[in-house]
């Protein structure tokens, strides 16, 4: 690998990781905005999404520039292709965080009500998956990426449990249907974030080992 290509790839990783940090923070703030019914914090999340969008465009341009100037092959080509996909996934995570924050704004004016589910735990597990996929990316750690993939079912189960509880509460407390529908929407967004973290982990496996594990029965 040429010195110039190595420098470009190193810069690309740094830019990608900066989006990672922003996306993770957005998810954390969005869930806090919902739990605390904090409309102002929700507004901050929406404003922060603009920065992720701008950086996503910059990383995409960086990837295309490297492809055009250096025509990388083997692991370098896999890295650039995966970076394009991961970049897009991070932008989508930012959008999902905005969706969660907006649900916080939506319930801010509703009567106070305790959330009948440990949403914070679901959020923390989702964020742990996201951090794990990013750590795997930094270290080109296929084993760590596999561990992230294995945790996706746990989030799916939590969302399923929340849905069952919310459906029951909607039947028994129809006057609070708006609150429960917003709670369901938040759980769906968290599940989708976990799915995207899994996508990132799968791309790390591809970068590190050249194996495509998406849609495979076993990893």
pLDDT computed for residue 216 by the predictor: 62
Residue 37: φ, ψ to 5°: 55, 45
**Is residue 214 situated within a structural domain?**
no
**Is residue 219 situated within a structural domain?**
no
User: Which position has the token pair 């954390």?
Assistant: 28
Which secondary structure element, helix H or strand E, spans residue 105, and what is its range? helix 74-107
Domain that holds residue 90: 3-209
Measured CA to CA, the distance from residue 87 to residue 63 in angstroms comes to: 10
pTM, 2 dp: 0.92
Nearest to 100 by CA among 37, 145, 173, 177: 37
pLDDT computed for residue 1 by the predictor: 64
List per-residue pLDDT tens for the chain, 219 residues long: 689 899 999 899 889 889 988 999 999 999 999 999 999 999 999 999 999 999 999 999 999 999 999 999 888 898 899 999 999 999 999 999 999 999 999 998 888 888 888 888 999 999 999 999 988 988 889 999 999 999 999 999 999 999 999 999 999 999 999 999 999 999 999 999 999 999 999 999 998 888 888 766 444
Torsion sign, CA atoms 136, 118, 32, 27: positive
**Is residue 99 situated within a structural domain?**
yes
Q: What is the CATH number of the domain that holds 79?
A: 1.20.58.220
**Is residue 51 situated within a structural domain?**
yes
pLDDT computed for residue 212 by the predictor: 84
pLDDT computed for residue 218 by the predictor: 47
pLDDT computed for residue 151 by the predictor: 94
> How many domains in the chain?
1
Which residues lie below 8 Å from residue 124, measured CB to CB, with a gap of 6+?
none
pLDDT computed for residue 65 by the predictor: 93
**Is residue 82 situated within a structural domain?**
yes
**Is residue 218 situated within a structural domain?**
no
Measured CA to CA, the distance from residue 16 to residue 14 in angstroms comes to: 5
**Is residue 132 situated within a structural domain?**
yes
Measured CA to CA, the distance from residue 88 to residue 5 in angstroms comes to: 22
**Is residue 123 situated within a structural domain?**
yes
């Amino acid at each position: 690998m040429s010195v110039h290509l190595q420098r470009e790839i190193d810069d690309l990783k740094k830019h990608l990781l900066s989006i990672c940090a922003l996306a993770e923070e957005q998810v954390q703030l969005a869930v806090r905005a919902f739990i605390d019914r904090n409309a102002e914090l929700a507004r901050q999340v929406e404003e922060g999404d603009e920065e992720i969008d701008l950086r996503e465009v910059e990383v995409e341009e960086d990837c295309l520039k490297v492809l055009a100037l250096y025509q990388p092959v083997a692991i370098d080509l896999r890295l650039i292709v995966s970076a394009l996909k991961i970049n897009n996934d991070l932008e989508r995570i930012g959008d999902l965080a905005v969706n969660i924050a907006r649900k916080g704004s939506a319930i801010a004016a509703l009567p106070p009500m305790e959330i009948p589910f440990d949403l914070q735990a679901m959020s923390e597990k989702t964020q742990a998956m996201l951090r794990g996929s990013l750590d795997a990316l930094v270290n080109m750690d296929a084993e760590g990426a596999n561990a992230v993939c294995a945790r996706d079912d746990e989030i799916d189960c939590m969302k399923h449990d929340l849905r069952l509880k919310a459906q029951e509460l909607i039947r028994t407390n129809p006057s609070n249907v708006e609150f429960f529908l917003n709670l369901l929407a938040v759980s769906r967004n968290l599940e989708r974030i976990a799915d995207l973290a899994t996508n990132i982990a799968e791309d790390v496996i591809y970068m590190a080992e050249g194996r495509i594990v998406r849609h495979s029965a076993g990893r």
